[in-house]
C-alpha cells in the first residue's frame, strides 16, 4: 500500500530557531501533499496544501512566512517552522492523496517541542 514517511519523528528546539520537517511519498508520486497540525485530544487542522512546482496554498490564519512549505519534487514536501516559539509546539502530520477516491495516506507525524 501507499506509504508516506516523515522525518524527524520528534524534535526539540530552542525558541527562535527554525526546524525543517520532511514528508516523502515512498512508493508513489504526489503532486499534492497536505500539512496538518494536531493539538492534544483535538482534530486535524489543515495548515496548507503543498503543490509540486508551485506555491503552497495556506489556510486562513496560517502565517505563510512562519510556516514555509517547499514541494521540490514529486515525492518530497518540506515544512519549515521559522523562528519557533513555544506555542508552535504541536504534532505536525503530512498526508498525500492517492487512489480512486483520493484517500489520504498520512505520515507518522512529527512531535515538535519548542523550549
Partner 1 sequence: GQQVMQIPQYQHVQEGEDFTTYCNSSTTLSNIQWYKQRPGGHPVFLIQLVKSGEVKKQKRLTFQFGEAKKNSSLHITATQTTDVGTYFCAGPGSGAGSYQLTFGKGTKLSVIP
Q: Which residues bind partner 1 (CB under 8 A)?
A: 32, 34, 41-44, 46, 49, 57, 93, 95, 97, 101-109
Nearer to partner 1 by Cβ, of 34 and 84: the residue is 34
| Closest distance to partner 1 from the beta carbon of 83 (Å) | 27
Segment holding 26, helix H or strand E: none
Cα–Cα distance, 39 to 100 (Å, whole number): 30
Q: What is the dihedral of CA 6, 19, 65, 31, to 10 degrees?
A: -20
Nearer to partner 1, 53 or 101 (CB): 101
CB of 29 to partner 1, least distance (A): 14
Task: Tell the burial category of 11 from Cβ atoms under 10 Å away from its Cβ (0-12, 13-18, 19+).
Answer: middle
Smallest distance from partner 1 to CB 2, Å: 9
When the beta carbons of 1 and 14 are compared against partner 1, the nearer one is 1
CB of 44 vs partner 1, minimal distance in Å: 5
List the grid coordinates of 34: 497536505
Amino acid at each position: 500500500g501507499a506509504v508516506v514517511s516523515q522525518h524527524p519523528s520528534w524534535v526539540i528546539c530552542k525558541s527562535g530557531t527554525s526546524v525543517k520537517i520532511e514528508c516523502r511519498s515512498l512508493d508513489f508520486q504526489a503532486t499534492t501533499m497536505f500539512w496538518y497540525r494536531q493539538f492534544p485530544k483535538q482534530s486535524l487542522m489543515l495548515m496548507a496544501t503543498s503543490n509540486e512546482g508551485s506555491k503552497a496554498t495556506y489556510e486562513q490564519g496560517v502565517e505563510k512566512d512562519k510556516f514555509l512549505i517547499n514541494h521540490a519534487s514529486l515525492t518530497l514536501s518540506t515544512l519549515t517552522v521559522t523562528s519557533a516559539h513555544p506555542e508552535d509546539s504541536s504534532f505536525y502530520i503530512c498526508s498525500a492523496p492517492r487512489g480512486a477516491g483520493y484517500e489520504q495516506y498520512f505520515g507518522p507525524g512529527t512531535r515538535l517541542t519548542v523550549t
